[in-house]
Every structure is written in structure tokens, then in C-alpha cells.
Amino acid sequence: MYQQALCRFGNFNAIQLSEPAPLRELLTMALKDDESMSDVNEKEKLEIAEVNTEILRENAEMINEYFSIHIDQGGNLTRLPVVLDQYTPDMDRLPEFMLTLGNDIAWDVEKECFRTAAAAIGNFYALHPPILPNPSGKGIRLYKKNKDSMESAGQADNDLTSTDEDDMDQELVAEAEAAWAQREWTIQHVLFPSMRLFLKPPKSMATDGTFVQIASLDKLYKIFERC
């Protein structure tokens, strides 16, 4: 996603948000969810949100021109860039993304500004696991309606793994199954084909464990010859 943000620099298509999202509200939400800000009082968080709102508004023309992140005169986010065709980022991470843009971009140094902005966009668009746990296998026990009452040390293990439909929050299970199925479909039909076409991994990834060889055609041919 980072490489795509750099490749499409200044030439992004845009996603129109269904409703304008006020920057101040997004930033406030991100600050409330930020564990590192737990010791900061609400008044200070509002002040930080206000400062970041002004920073983004001051640089709105530039980030719209180069990254298709459009902020209107009222301080509302209205458009986001299309980093990869047929792919939409997790909008639950939008507040965190806007906070990163406000806090972590080196606005005064052109090259570093573009690099850090592309990195923020890449992280926002990266495929993160769904918020709901995977309901397959042992994960299904997390959806028991009475799971809170089953935490006593003496509870039998077979009760924890029971999948009686009457014990399950079926609506939540269905939501989780849909989210994980969509993730698998996106990996198979969007991300992998795009990686084949566009990904240019650095040489360091050949030896740092990012890529692991699982088969060798030369060795396989030798095995077949012996057979």
C-alpha cells in the first residue's frame, strides 16, 4: 500500500464519503482510543484535537492536490484516495489515520513530508484483521452468550468449546463470519493479484524472513525424474 501511495502520487482517484466527517470529531475519537493518552485529561485532548484540525486545514490544499484527501472549508473530510482498485480501507481506523496525518507528518520538509504521508496512507489502507475474533475453530467459544459466567476455574473444558447454537450470539457470529470471509476473498482476489503486478520488494526481504521458500521447481523435477 505504501508503494502504491508513492506510485499514484499526484494522480489518485478519490472515494467520496457518504457524509462529510468533521475533523475535530475524528481526532477526538482517536485521542480517546489512544492508550498512550490515558493520563491526559479531556480538556487537553480537545486542545490537541483543535491544534491538529488547524494543521490539517492549513495543509488541505497540498494533501488534496497530491493525495486526494479533501478537506472542505468547514473542516470536514469529504474524500479519500483510491490506493488500490476494488479495495476499501477499514473505516473504523479513519480517526487514527487523521490523527497520524496531524501528528506525524513532517510538513516543512518536502521529501520527508511526502514519505511520511505515504507511510500514513499505507498503514491506513493495509489489510488489518477484523475487530471481531475469527469464529472458526476454538474462536467460536468467544461468542457464547454466557461466557462471562464460565470463567470459574472449575469449568470443564468441553463446556468452553461447546457449539450449541442456543448458547451462541448468532447475530454476532454471522457478522464475524461475514467479516472474515470478506477478508479471505480480498486477500485472494484483490491483494495477491495486485502484489503479482505491482509489488517491488527490497532485496533485504529475501533474507529477513519476510519471504520463505516453500518449494523449488528444480528439486521437484528431480524427484519426478526419479519416480
**Neighbouring-strand partners of residue 152:** none
pLDDT of residue 151: 45
Distance CA 125, CA 122 (A): 5
Per-domain boundaries in the chain: 1-125
What residue type is 83 in one-letter code? Answer: V
pTM above 0.85, yes or no: no
Alpha-carbon span 45 to 22, nearest angstrom: 16
Q: What separation in angstroms does the CA of 186 have from each of 89, 141, 155, 171, 179?
A: 11, 26, 39, 23, 11
Count the residues in the chain: 227
pLDDT digits (tens, 9 = 90+) for 96-114: 999 999 988 988 899 999 9
Bridge partners for 15 per DSSP: 80
Q: Which of 51, 21, 75 is nearest to 43 (CA)?
A: 51
pLDDT, tens only, 80-99: 999 988 888 899 899 999 99
Predicted confidence (pLDDT) per residue in 169-227, tens digit: 788 888 888 989 999 999 999 999 999 999 998 889 888 988 888 888 887 777 676 66
Q: Decide if 53 contacts 27 (C-beta within 8 A).
A: yes
Which of 21, 1, 152, 156 has the alpha carbon at shortest distance from 94?
Answer: 21
The residues near 148 (Cβ < 8 Å, ≥ 6 apart) are none
pLDDT of residue 61: 94
